[in-house]
Structure 1
Amino acid sequence: MNDVPIGILFLALLLLILLSAFFSSSETAMMAVNRYRIRTLADQGNRSAKLVMTLLETPDKLLGTILFGNNVANIAASTLATVVGLRLFGDVGLAYAPILLVFVVLVFAEVAPKTLAAVNPERIAYPAAWVLAFLQIVLSPFVWLVKIFANGLLNLVGVSVQAQNQALSSEELRAAVNESSEKIDLSHQEMLLRILEMEKVTVEDVMIPRADMEAIDLEDDWDEIVEQLATSHHTRVPVFSGSMDNMLGIAHIRKMFYLTHMADFNRETMLSMIREPYFIPENTSVTHALTNLQEQRRRFGIVVDEYGDIKGLVTLEMILEEVVGDFTTIVPGMDDDITAETDGSYLVRGNTYLRDINRQLGWELPTDNVKTVNGLITEQLEHIPVASTCFKLGDYTVEIVQTRDTSVHVARLKRLS
């Protein structure tokens, strides 16, 4: 190389550093691309995205090609820098040339290109994929040899070299939705998060408790039944005889009310028109309950416990509200479950679900063992409380405002912090 002009050597050294920068940025970009976005673009016909997906299917071959090229460029640059240093500074250049080259390679061929690729992986990966695909073919003998030894070594230590399944878990999906807040409308983001939570929610968490169910007792006076048909705010209600555990079916209120003016409409006629009830175990997830209701073409089901006793009812609207939020019409005469007070406290009804309070107020009331405010209070006190009873629960204060029979009707809750 003594006959080669020094300018040519510097130009060759610059090209080797640029080549090293290309391989370094390509490696980072190919590993950092969003594979789900790439797959979407590939399905839409983007040729570069298709090529990137093809290369990523065999990561050992891809990395073998990149690292082979990168190491060749770095070793050649090191040799050439030594020659240049020797020609310019003699024996002193042999000591300083490698040190200077380490700094240049670290900054211009490693850190800067990899940082750029990490910030804009697709911009680097798309054009690089075509070059790497070509080099993968040209260097296939060398890459195959390296692959045999590398994979053999990994197999010896029990590491599989097969591409791993990239399916996201529910927690990873939740994190992805949270991180995409700038690209997804807030209301849509909340819906997606609710859908991810639905598998953990059972019908017991969203049902109307047995004590709050509106139902028709066929053993009541007929005039009272007609009055109930005329004043009910619901389209369908359960029908039982004597005890709610003796559930007979579901009545279509509007359809039956139109017939009450006819002389031949009576208990027997009403009984012939009701539809058999559809029962749902209390531990059924709302996703499965939704699927079952759709298959059975039902609007709601009767929730039962492990002994077959009726616990409450769940409607299709309640399940859908788990996704889209509250949308059903408020029944006249009923107060809001959660009412804000001027002192920062909240008046809540005893049958209000703790999940609803946590969701609306951003609180963290415990929901492991109980579902409602009444259940939380009785669990903590271990007896039926009386009005004006107060106690502290973690970061919250609880005051019983009103009781009814054996349960808490209204309570006041306040977050201390």
Structure 2
Amino acid sequence: METAATIGWGAAWGIAGAILFLLMMSGFFSGSETALTAASRAKLRSQADKGAKGAERALAVTEDSERLIGAVLLGNNIVNILSASLATALFTAVLGESGVAVATLVMTALVLVFAEVLPKTYAISNPESAASRVAPAIAIVVKLFAPVVDVVRAFVRLILKAFGVDIDPDSRIMSAHEEILGAIKQGHTEGGVQKEDRDRLLGALDLGERTVEEIMLHRSGIEMLDAEASPEAILDQCLASRYTRLPVFRGEPENIIGVVHAKDLLRRIDELIRGADGDLTRLAELEIGAVMKDPYFIPETTTLDDQLRQFLRQHTHFALVVDEYGALQGLITLEDILEEIVGEITDEFDEPDVPMLEPDESGTFTIDGAMTIRDLNRATDWNLPDDEANTVAGLVIHEAQTIPTVGQVFSFHNFRFEVGGREANRITLLRIRPLA
């Protein structure tokens, strides 16, 4: 049986030094893997834009994540297996057959603490800075092991394909949009992002996913001017209205022929009364067609993101929404879209704010049936679905498959809905509370 004396103390110390070096390499590979996979590419991009070369290299290395992981794991396994083999040889030479068990225990402890937990803990606490430091060395490792990794990757794909699993090398598990959404929601859950900030950020990110139909003012609530009304009636209606733009119809409300702005109407009245040969009696000469502008129609399927761009491009704030048959469905303004981001915008001419939603002693909320599901979810942090309906009343009708009567109670989506008011076929009042 060999002993340390027979192999030489110098050789024994050399093997011990080699094991120590291999443990350091194992820790380097483990920490590098954690740092490069945990580092935020957005933060690295921000640092790279400011001139950080390490961050730029880290971005380049992580571009092909599959090759990166393969190279790091290959290097880590080589040094771990080699260190374990050397330790077994050393302890066997010193202690005999019992050296195998001792080598297993010692190397397990050393690898666990110094090659796994310690470097990974440091890397996860400073992922971007650690990734920037290790990126140059890891880039060399990736190039060195590239042929072997490519062979292993092809072999793995062949095995997965045999089991019906198709891997797309260019696919991403999550899009950047989903990553941002998840980060914002997670930040709010953990208390790092305030509810108001979360709502604003999510509102801006959701503009491309939502259509004008979801937030438009329904045609039943549109205030219009009759082109055939007398000038005095038109002036009285404009003065009494809290809106500066009013659609003009002729014959029937569906037949919109223009849009009047209060300023244009005021200028025309001033011209008739205070202009050359002006007189109060000339107010009767006011023609609504002379001051109105052409209506701007948009389809109900237009996304809020696209419509926001159109408003900015066309220097207008007001659009009428029509369905696929050209029938009027509602109207939308630039303010409506902005409110989806920043919340309710009011001025001195707006109606008083609706009181904040507050539950009663039983936890029941009393709301207007026309309240949108999105607004209710925002106010209460609920997650009622808005795929099939825009308003809470619409959700109740969709789930009930009928127009309910006052007093009817329904339970769905883990909530209790009670119909508190109805006018004709419209639900005007609902009482809602979550079920225990």
Q: TM-score, normalised by structure 2?
A: 0.80
Does the alignment pair 1:114 with 2:107?
no
Q: 2:373 aligns with which of 348, 354, 367?
A: 354
Indicate whether 1:279 and 2:297 are aligned: yes
1:237-291 deviations in whole A, cap 9, x for unaligned? 1111221112110101133135335244556643122101011222322222222
Given candidates 139, 145, 148, the residue that maps to 1:146 is: 148
Residues 342-381 of structure 1: per-residue CA shift (max 9 Å, x gap): 5555444443333323332334556444433554566648
Moved more, 169-178 or 319-328: 169-178
C-alpha deviation, 1:136, in angstroms: 5.6
Return the letter of the residue paired with 2:175: L
Of 7, 14, 24 in structure 2, the residue corresponding to residue 2 of structure 1 is 7
Other-structure match for 2:310 = 292
Distance 1:335 1:90, change over 3 A: closer
Q: How does 1:306-325 map to 2 (within 5 A)?
A: 306-325=324-343
> Conserved in 2, the CA contact under 8 Å of 1:203 and 1:284?
yes
Moved more, 94-103 or 215-224: 94-103
Distance 1:9 1:416, change over 3 A: closer
Question: Which one of the candidate residues 205, 216, 237 is aligned to 1:196?
Answer: 205
Identical aligned residues as a percent: 30
Q: Indicate whether 1:382 and 2:402 are aligned.
A: yes
Query: Aligned pair 1:208/2:208, yes or no?
Result: no
Q: 1:119-163 CA distances to partner (integer Å, 9 max, x unpaired)?
A: 4333432322233345567xx3xx254235324424645576855
Give the 5 Å matches for 1:10-89. Answer: 10-59=16-65, 62-63=68-69, 65-89=71-95
Assess if the C-alpha contact under 8 Å between 2:248 and 2:257 holds in 1: yes
Pairing 1:219-298 to 2, within 5 Å after superposition:
219-260=228-269, 262=273, 263=279, 264-266=282-284, 269-298=287-316
- Other-structure match for 2:408: 391
Asked if the contact 2:260–2:292 (Cα under 8 Å) also holds between the matched residues in 1, the reply is yes
Residues 27 and 114 in structure 2, CA contact (< 8 A), matched pair in contact too: yes
Q: For the residues of structure 2 that align with 1:86 and 1:114, how far apart are their CA atoms?
A: 31
Runs of 4+ in 1 over 6 A off after TM superposition: none
Cα 1:108–1:375 change in 2 (3 A) is closer
Counterpart of 2:3? Answer: none
Q: Which moved more, 1:115-124 or 1:334-343?
A: 334-343
Letter in 1 for 2:402: E
**How much has 1:236 moved relative to structure 2?**
0.9
Judging changes above 3 Å, is the alpha-carbon distance between structure 1 residues 375 and 135 closer, same or farther for their aligned structure 2 residues? closer
What count of residue pairs does the alignment treat as equivalent? Answer: 408
* Matched residue SS, 1:355: helix
Structure 2: give runs of 5+ residues left out of the alignment: 1-5, 274-278
Partners of 1:160 and 1:383 lie apart in 2 by: 49
2-structure distance, mates of 1:206, 1:135: 54
Q: 1:86 and 1:384 mapped to 2: Cα distance? A: 83
Mapped contact 1:60–1:161 kept (Cα < 8 A): no
Describe the shift of the 1:30–1:163 C-alpha distance in structure 2 as closer, same or farther (beyond 3 A): farther
**Shift in CA distance, 136/330, structure 1 to aligned 2, threshold 3 Å:** same
3-state DSSP class of the match of 1:276? coil
Task: Say whether the 8 Å CA contact 2:247–2:260 is kept in structure 1.
Answer: yes
- Secondary structure at 2:265's aligned position in 1? helix
Q: 1:305 aligns with which of 310, 323, 328?
A: 323
Corresponding residue SS for 2:320: strand
CA deviation profile, 1:286-325 (whole Å, cap 9, x unmatched): 2222222223222111112222221221111011101111
SS across alignment from 1:390 = coil
274-283 vs 19-28, which moves further? 19-28
SS in 1 for 2:319: strand
* Cα displacement (A) at 1:39: 2.0
Shift of 1:192: 1.5
Could you tell me the TM-score, scaled by structure 1's length?
Answer: 0.83
Alpha-carbon distance between aligned partners in 1 of 2:404 and 2:95, rounded to the nearest angstrom: 94
Amino acid at match of 2:375: D
User: How far apart are the structure 2 equivalents of 1:353 and 1:241?
Assistant: 31
Tell me which of 130, 137, 150 is aligned to 1:131: 137
Q: CA deviation at 1:227?
A: 0.9
Amino acid corresponding to residue 243 of structure 1 in structure 2: E
**Distance between the aligned counterparts of 1:195 and 1:57, measured in 2?**
28
CA displacement 1:204-235 (0-9 Å, x = unmatched): 22111222111111222332112112222111
1:411 aligned partner:
429
